[in-house]
């Protein structure tokens, strides 16, 4: 019966080799956000659209270690609503942009977003300028999870 043992062993090896590409495909989403420190994320820009109620609306996708758009343009003196769409697996994130003198106060605790959830934040900027926003979770801003809020 040695021929049967060899055939069984070859079948197991063949099944193992076939499973490797499937395992890589299944694990790829988990590796996608594992950039190195200081990784460069392309800048994307979004000018707020104004709804019929006069609120400036911006959708922000929250990915593994970057925001899209990373540059948000709004007008001073008009209310802004940011809608966050969380796209990252298993990694908690937040969004922080605070300048009390400019009427900007958006801050959420670590892990406030979870996969396929949507959150909203409202504020009314009062002073033109450029204000940094970032993920306050340790090390995320350094990996590129930051951007600029431009108030005109």
Mean pLDDT for 106-133 is: 76
Residue 131 has pLDDT above 50, yes or no: yes
4 or 142, greater pLDDT: 142
The number of beta carbons lying within 10 Å of the beta carbon of residue 106 is 19
Write down all domains in the chain, each with its CATH number in brackets: 1-31 (no CATH), 45-151 (2.60.40.420)
pLDDT tops 80 at residue 38: no
Omega prior to 69 cis, within 30 of 0: yes
Contact criterion met (CB below 8 Å) for 29 and 87: no
Mean pLDDT of the chain: 75
Listing DSSP states for 35-68 in one string gives PPTT------EEEPEEPTTS-EEEEEEEETTEEE
pTM of the predicted model, to two decimals? 0.65
């Amino acid at each position: 019966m040695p021929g049967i043992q060899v055939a069984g062993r070859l079948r197991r090896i063949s099944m193992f080799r076939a499973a490797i590409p499937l395992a890589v495909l299944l694990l790829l989403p988990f590796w996608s956000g594992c950039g190195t420190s200081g990784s460069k994320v392309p800048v994307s820009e979004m000018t707020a659209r104004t709804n019929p109620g006069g609120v400036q609306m911006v959708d922000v996708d929250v990915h593994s270690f970057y925001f899209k758009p990373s540059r948000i343009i709004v007008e001073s003196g008009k209310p802004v609503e940011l809608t966050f769409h969380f796209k990252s697996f298993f990694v908690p994130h937040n969004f922080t942009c605070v300048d009390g003198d400019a009427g900007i106060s958006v801050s959420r605790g670590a892990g406030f977003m979870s996969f396929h959830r949507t959150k909203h934040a409202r504020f009314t900027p009062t002073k033109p300028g450029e204000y940094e926003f970032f993920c306050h979770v340790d090390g995320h801003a350094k990996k590129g999870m930051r951007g600029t809020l431009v108030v005109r």
